[in-house]
Chains A and B, each alone.
Chain A
Amino acid sequence: MLRFILTRVSLVIPTFLGVTFLTFLLIRLVPGDPIEVRVGERGIPPERLLELRHELGLDRPLWHQFLDYIGGVLQGDLGVSLVTRNSVFSEFVTLFPATLELAALAMLFATVVGLPAGIIAAVRRGSIFDHGVMGISLTGYSMPIFWWGLLLILFFSVGLGWTPVSGRLDLLYYVEPVTGFMLIDTLMAGEYGAFWSALHHLILPMIVLGTVPLAVVARMTRSAMLEVLGEDYIRTAKAKGLAGKRVIGMHALRNALIPVVTVIGLQVGTLLGGAILTETIFSWPGVGKWLIESINRRDYPALQGGVLLIATTVMTVNLLVDVLYGVLNPRIRHSR
């Protein structure tokens, strides 16, 4: 097991380098550097521009800048934001819990709804429910996040007034961040009103961000269940005289979960990518919104560091999923 984990971790290194290099290069391909963007249309004297560029080291050759950056990263230094002058790492860590809270709830929503929907669709194959679930999930999967988010805001927030339009917490409340997770912090502070407010703020972004994973989980669960339900051991389970609930919920589901867990793990990447759009739509103060702002300001270190940290998160989650896979599937556990 340890060997397996070490092998997997060593595979992370090239990915890591690739991600760093790509982000580094791509953001520099965008016209306008941090200084030009900051001075805007008014412009500054060319000598001053060169001077400022020199200060930030932007006049050196690209490869030199890259080696500098990598050198820093390898020592655990992601640099400081060109805009706020705060360390990139500390900015990320402050904002990340908001993203994590949103992503976790979205995934929870996708699993809690998608798994049973997929199971029922498989068991009642060909029924109206089955066709309905598959149709809706195809629609959900194809829906652009920004459009879907705006649609929901228009309907529920603006039209019906059920949920707030944006933000994380009502202005009435202030809760000292401890964990950074609003739901936990408000509960710890004993502010139940704030907790409800936080929950209210979470509902729409959660649905918007969870829609694509929900569709994927539902479809995957259905097809995995359909495959498993035709297996010999399901017939054996029935021949034991077990009730249908036990045959499906235990004998079939346990086997069907194996591919579903993999898919859920792979969705984490989609989820963090989707979080960037969702956070922008809902003004959610997380790393997604922060990254978009960094792009707009050409805040190179912030963007590079943020992407790197998100990539690390995705790789870690995928590693965890692989380990969990072995827990679920004894055949893999023993071959490792």
Chain B
Amino acid sequence: MPAMPLLDIKNLSVEFTTRAGTFRAVDGIDLTVDEGEVVGIVGESGSGKSVTSLAVMGLLGSNGTVVADRMHFGGKDLLAMSPSQRRKITGKDVAMVFQEPMTSLNPCFTVGFQIMETLKVHEGLSGKALRNRAIELLEQVGIPAPESRLSAFPHQLSGGMNQRVMIAIAIACNPRLLVADEPTTALDVTIQKQILDLLVRLQKERGMALILITHDMGVVAETAQRVVVMYAGQVAETRPVDALFKAPRHPYTGALLDALPERALGKRRLPTIPGVVPGIGDRPQGCLFNPRCRFANDRCRIERPALFDVDAGKARCFYPLADAPVGAGEVL
């Protein structure tokens, strides 16, 4: 029997109540993350990646309703916890790094204060030990002259430096799971690579699990062990990274991979996926991807597919793609 997963989510849905009605941003997804595993969640903007991670962290505002059959972390039921019990885990055992480093740190407090705050609250450190631990953390995330940086304010540091500080805060209490929500999207390309390398190094050194949310397939290929492809609040495909990149089963995954520049060498135009992710009021009947799918037929337009077993994983498609990646060498 396999060991119990660190994070075990079954049938998670998140609904937002707006004036226009209720909007289901996340629609019955299953997600498991093992201890020390790196899981990549990919999908376009609006596919529910971030909302899923915020639900895991318990950070959704009062207008977001979280429902799940099961939502366990380290064997404990997250949904049954009181807010104060939940806070003991949040920021300690599960930590998060956000997309916008420049606005995610509080402009009124020093970097040192913001790192030490976490340590004070969760580990009860104080005085010299607290300060030393903060310096140590800044060192670990590759910030030069850490001692003098403690008294710096976020606006005095670059975006990359601020993201390093965010990572230092996140790993301060040795979390078992780190959720990184598009941690490199707002950064320069050269800095992106550094931050990703940093995250991967820290993950390996500490053996923590990592959920890496991104819309960059290339990043996933380099870092993740398993991939969850999300589309319109649902899981479209979930499989180990090698298998998925070699032979995607869901047409959406296939189209995402085709859109990678390195896979479109020799083509005159980069393939794209026409249309946008369905929004609040325009969910199609049948498969949610059918209006944008090149292979959709009448069945896809009427019946909504379940997650079917495919090799080494699952895909939400009646007609999973065959081994040879369809679309290779073709111009859309």
Does A8 have its Cβ within 8 Å of any Cβ on chain B? no
Does A67 have its Cβ within 8 Å of any Cβ on chain B? no
User: A104: shortest Cβ distance to chain B, in Å?
Assistant: 27
Complex: chain A residue closest to B90, CB-CB: A241
* Given A241-B121, A254-B108: A232 in contact with B92 (beta carbons within 8 A): no
User: Once A and B bind, how many residue pairs between them come within 8 Å at the CB atom?
Assistant: 72
User: By the criterion of a CB under 8 Å from any partner CB, how many residues of chain B are at the interface?
Assistant: 30
Complex: chain B residue closest to A251, CB-CB: B106
B98→A235 contact, CB < 8 A = yes
A254→B109 contact, CB < 8 A = yes
Among A231, A240, A255, point to the contact of B121 (Cβ < 8 A): A240
* Given A235-B59, A235-B98: A241 in contact with B106 (beta carbons within 8 A): no
A240→B117 contact, CB < 8 A = yes
**Assembly CA distance A334 to B92 (angstroms):** 33
Q: Identify the stretch in A19-27, A89-97, A142-150, A325-333 within 8 Å (CB) of chain B at 4 or more residues.
A: A325-333
Complex: chain A residue closest to B96, CB-CB: A239
* Given A330-B153, A331-B153, A334-B156: A241 in contact with B98 (beta carbons within 8 A): no
Residues from chain B with Cβ under 8 Å of A156 in the complex: none
Complex: chain B residue closest to A236, CB-CB: B104
Does B88 have its Cβ within 8 Å of any Cβ on chain A? yes
User: A252: shortest Cβ distance to chain B, in Å?
Assistant: 9
User: B167: shortest Cβ distance to chain A, in Å?
Assistant: 12
**Residue interface mask B104-124, A partner, CB < 8 A = 1:** 111111000000011001100
**Assembly CA distance A334 to B121 (angstroms):** 29
A334→B153 contact, CB < 8 A = yes
**Assembly CA distance A243 to B83 (angstroms):** 9
Does B155 have its Cβ within 8 Å of any Cβ on chain A? yes
User: B105: shortest Cβ distance to chain A, in Å?
Assistant: 6
Does B166 have its Cβ within 8 Å of any Cβ on chain A? yes
Does A242 have its Cβ within 8 Å of any Cβ on chain B? yes
Residues from chain B with Cβ under 8 Å of A330 in the complex: 107-108, 153, 155
Does B55 have its Cβ within 8 Å of any Cβ on chain A? no
Instruction: Categorize the interface residue count of chain A.
Output: 20 to 34
Does A162 have its Cβ within 8 Å of any Cβ on chain B? no
* Given A243-B87, A331-B155, A334-B156: A238 in contact with B107 (beta carbons within 8 A): no
A236→B106 contact, CB < 8 A = yes
Residues from chain B with Cβ under 8 Å of A239 in the complex: 57, 59, 90-91, 95-96, 98
B91→A242 contact, CB < 8 A = yes
B residues 166-210 in Cβ contact with A at 8 Å: 166, 169
A residues 196-238 in Cβ contact with B at 8 Å: 231-233, 235-238
Does B89 have its Cβ within 8 Å of any Cβ on chain A? yes
* Given A232-B103, A255-B106: A241 in contact with B166 (beta carbons within 8 A): no
A233→B91 contact, CB < 8 A = no
Residues from chain B with Cβ under 8 Å of A235 in the complex: 59, 98, 104
B residues 23-46 in Cβ contact with A at 8 Å: none
User: A103: shortest Cβ distance to chain B, in Å?
Assistant: 29
Residues from chain A with Cβ under 8 Å of B107 in the complex: 233, 255, 329-331
Residues from chain B with Cβ under 8 Å of A238 in the complex: 59, 90
Complex: chain B residue closest to A239, CB-CB: B96
Q: Which 9 A-B pairs have the closest CB atoms?
A: A241-B91, A240-B91, A241-B90, A232-B103, A233-B106, A241-B87, A330-B153, A254-B108, A232-B104
Apart from A241-B122, A331-B153, 6 more pairs, CB < 8 Å: A231-B103, A235-B59, A239-B57, A239-B90, A241-B88, A328-B108
**Chain A residues in the interface with B (C-beta under 8 A):** 231-233, 235-244, 251, 254-255, 328-331, 334
